[in-house]
C-alpha cells in the first residue's frame, strides 16, 4: 500500500477516529509479517477516545509506511484477542464491538479465524474498507462483512472517505433504534462562541431520533440527533443553595468523570489568547478532589448513585497558594433526576 492508497488509508483511519467520543475505546494496529502497534506503549489494550488520545495517535499515523507482505490473519487474531481480554477486565464500554479493517486486498476469507473467535454469537462486527479502484478482492471482503454483521465499503479517492466511513454508524445504531432506546448524552464543557454568549461555559444534551413507522421499524433507520445547548450557569441555578452551607460548594461531572464545573477548575489559556486549551474538557474529577484516592466519590457520580457520605479532603485557600484540611459531607445527586425542558 503506497502512494495515494496509503494517503487514503491514513485519512480513513483519521475519519474513523473523528466518529469516536469519550464513551468509546480504541487502538490501531499496523501489520505486515509482524504486528505493529501504532503506539507501542499501548500494545494489547484499548484507550479512551478522548481528544488527547486521538490527536496522539494521528501523529503516529504519518510514520506508517508500506513494507513487506501483510498477514491479515495474524492481525485479525490480535484484534479479537484485544477485545476479548479488555471485556474480561470489566473496564470500558462493551455494548458494541467492531473491527475496522483498512486494506487494499485480502487473498482469502479467513473463515477459520472468525469461527474460532466470533462465531456463532458474532458479537464483534467487521467493517472492511477496501482502498483503491481494484475490485479483485472485493468479494472476500464483502463476505467478511456479511458473515460478521458488518458493512463493506470501497474507497478509491480522498473525496469518498468521509461518506463511506460514516456508513458504519447506521449499522452500529440499528439495535438501539429497533429497541427504541433513547439514550441521553451530555457532552463535555466547552466555550460558547456565539455573539452575546462568548466566553460562557456550555454543555449539550442530545438524544437519537429514529423512524417510528411500523413499515420501517425493523429496519432500524436512524434519522439523526436532536440536542440543545445549556449554559452551565443554568445547571448550577437548579442546585438548592440551602444544601451547601458555609464553605460549601457544588460541582458537576460528565458520565466519564470529566468536570463540567468545579471551583478548583482553573483552565489555562493558550498563549494569552482568549480561548481555553483544547484539553480543557479532559480534566478528571480525581485531579481536583485530591483525597478521593479510591475514586469513591467519582465512581458514585459516574454510576449515577445518590446519597450522602463524609470524607476528609484538602481545600485550597488564598487562590491556590495554601491548602488546609476539611471534613466535608458530599451529597451526590444524579443529573438524570434533573428536569430539563428541551
Q: Could you tell me where the beta strands, DSSP code E, fall in the chain?
A: 25-26, 29-31, 35-37, 47-48, 97-103, 124-131, 153-155, 185-186, 190-191, 201-210, 222-231, 252-253, 259-261, 307-317, 322-332
Three-state secondary structure call for residue 159: helix
- The per-residue pLDDT for 270 is 59
Three-state secondary structure call for residue 26: strand
In the block, cell 462568548 appears at: 198
- Tell me the C-alpha distance between 43 and 291, whole Å: 31
Phi, psi of 238 (to 5 degrees): -70, -25
Q: What is the pLDDT along the chain (342 residues), one digit of tens a residue?
A: 888 999 999 999 999 999 998 889 999 999 999 999 999 999 999 998 988 899 999 999 988 888 888 899 999 999 999 999 988 887 665 678 999 999 998 989 999 999 999 999 999 999 999 999 988 899 999 999 999 999 999 999 999 999 999 999 989 888 888 887 878 888 888 777 666 555 678 888 898 888 877 767 677 788 888 999 988 888 888 877 777 777 778 888 888 888 888 887 765 665 655 555 555 667 888 888 777 778 888 888 888 888 887 777 666 666 656 666 666 666 766 544 444 333
- The per-residue pLDDT for 337 is 40
Contacts of 215 (CB under 8 A, 6+ apart): none
Longest dimension (CA), the chain: 73
The model carries a pTM of 0.81
C-alpha torsion 294→297→303→305, nearest 10? 130
- The per-residue pLDDT for 174 is 86
- Tell me the C-alpha distance between 59 and 42, whole Å: 15
Amino acid at each position: 500500500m503506497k502512494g495515494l492508497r496509503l494517503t487514503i488509508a491514513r485519512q480513513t483511519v483519521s475519519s474513523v477516529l473523528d466518529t469516536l467520543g469519550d464513551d468509546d475505546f480504541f487502538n490501531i494496529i499496523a501489520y505486515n509479517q509482524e504486528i505493529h502497534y501504532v503506539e507501542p506503549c499501548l500494545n494489547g489494550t484499548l484507550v479512551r477516545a478522548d481528544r488527547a488520545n486521538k490527536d496522539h495517535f494521528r501523529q503516529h499515523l504519518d510514520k506508517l509506511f508500506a513494507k513487506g507482505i501483510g498477514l491479515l490473519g495474524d492481525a485479525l487474531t490480535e484484534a479479537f484477542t484485544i477485545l476479548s481480554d479488555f471485556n474480561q477486565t470489566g473496564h470500558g464500554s462493551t455494548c458494541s464491538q467492531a473491527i475496522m479493517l483498512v486494506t487494499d486486498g485480502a487473498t482469502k476469507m479467513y473463515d477459520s479465524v472468525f469461527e474460532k473467535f466470533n462465531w456463532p454469537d458474532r458479537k464483534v462486527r467487521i467493517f472492511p474498507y477496501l482502498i483503491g479502484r481494484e475490485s479483485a478482492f472485493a468479494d472476500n471482503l464483502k463476505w467478511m462483512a456479511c458473515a460478521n454483521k458488518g458493512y463493506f465499503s470501497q474507497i478509491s479517492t480522498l473525496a469518498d472517505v468521509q461518506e463511506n466511513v460514516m456508513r458504519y454508524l447506521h449499522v452500529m445504531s440499528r439495535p438501539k433504534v429497533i429497541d427504541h432506546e433513547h439514550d441521553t448524552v451530555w457532552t463535555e464543557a466547552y466555550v460558547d462562541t456565539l455573539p452575546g454568549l462568548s466566553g460562557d461555559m456550555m454543555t449539550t444534551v442530545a438524544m437519537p431520533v429514529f423512524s417510528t413507522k411500523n413499515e420501517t421499524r425493523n429496519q432500524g433507520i436512524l434519522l439523526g440527533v436532536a440536542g440543545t445547548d445549556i449554559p452551565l450557569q443554568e445547571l448550577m441555578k437548579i442546585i438548592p443553595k440551602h444544601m451547601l452551607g458555609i464553605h460549601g460548594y457544588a460541582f458537576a461531572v460528565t458520565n466519564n468523570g470529566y468536570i463540567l464545573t468545579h471551583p478548583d477548575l482553573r483552565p489555562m489559556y493558550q498563549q494569552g489568547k482568549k480561548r481555553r486549551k483544547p484539553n480543557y474538557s479532559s480534566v478528571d474529577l480525581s485531579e481536583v478532589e485530591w483525597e478521593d484516592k479510591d475514586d469513591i466519590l467519582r465512581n458514585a457520580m459516574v454510576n449515577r448513585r445518590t446519597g450522602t457520605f463524609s470524607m476528609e479532603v484538602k481545600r485550597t485557600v488564598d487562590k491556590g497558594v495554601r491548602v488546609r484540611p476539611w471534613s466535608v459531607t458530599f451529597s451526590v445527586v444524579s443529573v438524570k433526576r434533573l428536569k430539563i425542558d428541551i
